Structure 1
């Protein structure tokens, strides 16, 4: 009839606890910023050194590995040891900085959902915010280390170019994507099976040694041969670390040092593709499991 109003449109029902994944994280940038600030404040509450503790660990790692490998095992090139690596200290620190970003990001992201169980049980907000915030906090710790690395490289004759900076940024993005994808996966699985934390700890223990952080890629190539070395290079961490070496360490070497064959033309695109695939799979698993987070926690 003419006096009747048009029927109201009823929005479709959606399952509770499900969102739009990482798109919700982008839309909730303000909440992400708050979570990052909260995590930084809670982590260093009551600490004398505060955020400086994030540099004590890589600093101690660098000193221990440099003395053990560079000095005692002769990986540092010197007038009496021409078979060592030139500027091994820069080679070592550039790898440690990047791999520590990965280990911190993944370790914290895998525990982030369980660690924020009280907040998850009280209100609904995009749950992907917690692993992503953990990666951002790790990036906050990582970037000043890169500044120190760049300063030391400048003192050793580094003249940065746009291509070198682009390679370094691409390596960082590759590791960040990988850490986020694995963090989403293990963060969700950890809600149901707390053994996931122990598995992540073992994975992080292997990460430093499974990439050319402490040794050169030529050692791996000479021991394994071309076929197995190709398998070794499928690891995005290996590609990212070597790309970091290409950006920072390689320009400081007075001698010509061989780099990984096809690093930028083949392995870098492969590593980026694998990191994106891990991110997609991690996000898919997270979205499938997040519906019962509040009940399981």
Structure 2
């Protein structure tokens, strides 16, 4: 007790220099990596607890969406015209979008969802949104394996130079998803409407990305330069296009991609890392009253 009494008091969320505060909190999160892994496993087990099919449910929603988009939008409304292997095209985009949406949606509710633990013991609060990132990555791995299996069955396995776009595309999704998730998880503690706004926002983002329609159609239809620029440089749009370039086999002459797609992904990643660092500082400033608000 004497030794404990001599320890200096540390205020959670106390103002510090940006670099020192970020470095300290990253170090604290790294020290809690075992707990982070435990939270990821708990997240996954809780999601499918008492379920007979377990992780199979991870595929039900995207596969249902795929069937609806393929038959209704692709065949009935004609969106598949001019898009080879439309099912692979759509499923590739859905896989990228699902990773992003699960990170953001899961992170947003992560602090409130773990309120009991947060009020009882101190751990770096960042581990809870990061656990949602880990759980989303596990689900993504399953969906991506199914996607690759589908390409093998159809005979269009993507063994080509376009695979270099895969890692940058995933990296962009991860940094932006984590950055947005950190900020929203903190805001959701103070304003619970945030989680409902995010549900609507993610639905809009699904249709604002070239998943069930082609980027070529957007370029041909929209005549406003600034709107095309904003649409193209949306990080999720770039990531979806990068994933499609990596996984979806197509005739390059029939498909339009933004100029310098790899460079755009690289710039988006750098900006995303800066956003992630900024998001961590915002989270750090807001976390001081978490226990009281919860």
Query: What TM-score comes out, normalization by structure 1 length?
Result: 0.88
Distance 1:177 1:45 in 2: 29
> Does the 8 Å contact 2:58/2:143 carry over to 1?
no
The root-mean-square deviation of aligned C-alpha atoms, in Å, is: 1.9
The count of aligned residue pairs is 279
What is the match of residue 258 of structure 2? 261
Distance 2:261 2:251 in 1: 22
CA deviation string 1:180-227 (max 9, x = no partner): 111100000111111211221121111111111111112221222343
What is the match of residue 3 of structure 2? none
What is the match of residue 245 of structure 2? 246
Q: Looking at CA atoms only, which structure, 1 or 2, has the larger radius of gyration?
A: 1
What is the match of residue 272 of structure 1? 269
What is the match of residue 200 of structure 2? 202
Q: Which runs of 5+ in 1 are unaligned?
A: 1-9, 78-83
Equivalent residues in 2 for 1:1-297 (5 A)?
Answer: 13-16=9-12, 20-77=24-81, 84-154=82-152, 155-161=154-160, 163-225=161-223, 226-249=225-248, 252-254=249-251, 256-297=253-294
Per-residue deviation at 1:286? Answer: 0.4
Per-residue deviation at 1:51? Answer: 1.2
C-alpha distance 89-274 of structure 1, shift in aligned 2 (>3 A): same
CA deviation string 1:90-115 (max 9, x = no partner): 11000001101111111110000000
> Does the 8 Å contact 2:163/2:245 carry over to 1?
no
> Does the 8 Å contact 2:104/2:177 carry over to 1?
yes
Q: State the secondary structure of the residue aligned to 2:124.
A: coil
> Does the 8 Å contact 2:232/2:258 carry over to 1?
no
Q: Which runs of 5+ in 2 are unaligned?
A: 1-5, 15-20
Distance 2:275 2:61 in 1: 28
Query: What TM-score comes out, normalization by structure 2 length?
Result: 0.88
